[in-house]
Amino acid sequence: MSVTAITGARVFDGEKTLGVTTVLVEGGRIARIGGDAPAGAEIVDGSGATLLPGLIDAHVHSAPGSLALALRFGVTTELEMQGMNTRENRGPITDDDTLADVRSSGFAITPPGGHPSELMPEGFRPKWDLPPVMPLMPFSTTPEEAAAFVPQLLARGSDFIKFMIDDGSVEGHPGLPSLDQVTVNAGVAEAKKHGALTVAHALTVEATRMAAEAGIDGVTHVFMDQPHTTEIISLIKDAGMFVIPCISLNASMMGITGSELADDPRVAARLDSKWDQTLRSSYNRYPQGKLDDVYDTVRALDAAGIDVLAGSDVSMPETFFGGLAHGASLHHELQYLVAAGLTPSRALRAATATTARRFRLSDRGRIAEGLRADLLLVDGDPVSNISDTLNTRAVWRRGTHLAA
């Protein structure tokens, strides 16, 4: 069994900086931290670089080729918040070290005609191969329906249960069919009986309030319809919820493109023309929104000690899902989190240890003995300059070095 010793790099272990130390990788796991490289080990010189845990994007929607693209940016795990990569479909992904690993909610509980149907242009059909087993479509309008779908979703391989709480007001479709409070409550209560993690799509303060009242574990967006109040921050904190702000998505909803990111040569070299075009576009569905309000909210969440997780809400290479690209946008999200007021270290935790802890991924998200050797080596020091996360020198998934 081959042994790799990464030497001379500063190590950020997902929680804190360990300084310059050797990390030993064997059999797809982190075998040792510190000490000398053993005789016969393959030496990777990390001088001038920082070794990070592989990054985790806490909010994606997969597309053809997206897991390979994510891995090229050092995103070793993606959390799919609506899609087809449930346990029954992802066997080949689990064993393929050229792809990011994935966990999935399957399809979210939503009413017929509810979110995200309003995002699709009329007649649009995604161009990809169907999975071996089509995910369950848990359309629900009553508490009984929502509760009944939960054990079915779990039996079909959903890793967590997602609820759509969205009346369409932010997307320009007011009056969109949406789950009501009693239906969300019933679904969440059933999920708790099964010990399942629950998340909610919520773009407004009212939807966030509903999620908190239902006992949801976390929301997959930060609201953008109004500034935060002390009351809503306290409600989120008292409910013990985590928040995946997806500032990059909010910016896109406000008409802000990802063109500046696309112009970065570190990004441009890894994107094809379709993803480049998508990144240079935007959703532009809520131009009246104020990014400074979102920044203020995220800063208040962090100051209150609420777990903030890094996610992008990236999906397909289509301009109506613009401003986002797999892998690249998680690095953009880290930059946005720092712009909102998080320290670089806290932003890095949001894409590593904090997300792993909140999504019960006990085998990753940190550099610690016995964990998966999902690793990202970058030139520079992202603890001082968060943009350095894009300076990719090497990526490992389960100890397998990703070929350039």
Q: What is the pLDDT at residue 118? A: 86
378/293 same-domain check: no
Please indicate whether residue 134 or residue 278 has the higher confidence score (pLDDT): 278
368/347 same-domain check: no
CATH code at position 395: 2.30.40.10
378/296 same-domain check: no
169/300 same-domain check: yes
Q: What is the pLDDT of residues 314-346, one digit of tens each?
A: 999 999 999 999 999 999 999 999 999 999 999
Q: List the one residue out of 255, 311, 295 whose CA is nearest residue 59.
A: 311
49/82 same-domain check: no
177/33 same-domain check: no
Half-sphere exposure of 391 (CA within 13 A, CB side): 15
Residue 120 confidence class, pLDDT cut points 50, 70, 90: confident
Domain that holds residue 289: 55-362
What pTM was computed for the model?
A: 0.97
Q: Which long-range contacts (CB under 8 A, 24 or more apart) does 268-272 make?
A: 270/69, 270/72, 270/73, 270/327, 270/328, 271/69, 271/325, 271/328
Q: What is the number of domains present in the chain? A: 2
Q: Does a cis peptide bond (omega within 30 degrees of 0) precede residue 116?
A: yes
17/114 same-domain check: no
Average the pLDDT over 354-365 and give the result: 98
20/144 same-domain check: no
**1 pLDDT exceeds 90?**
no
Mean pLDDT computed over every residue of the chain: 96
Q: What is the pLDDT of residues 157-166, one digit of tens each?
A: 999 999 999 9
Residue 64 confidence class, pLDDT cut points 50, 70, 90: very high
Q: How far is CA 343 from CA 76, 237, 349, 389, in A?
A: 23, 20, 10, 14
Residue 404 confidence class, pLDDT cut points 50, 70, 90: low
Report the helix count and the strand count for the chain, using DSSP H and E: 14, 17
339/378 same-domain check: no
- E-only strand ranges, 112-248: 161-164, 198-201, 218-219, 242-243
Residue 122 confidence class, pLDDT cut points 50, 70, 90: confident
267/166 same-domain check: yes
Q: Would you say 99 and 78 are in contact if contact means Cβ atoms under 8 Å apart?
A: no
147/266 same-domain check: yes
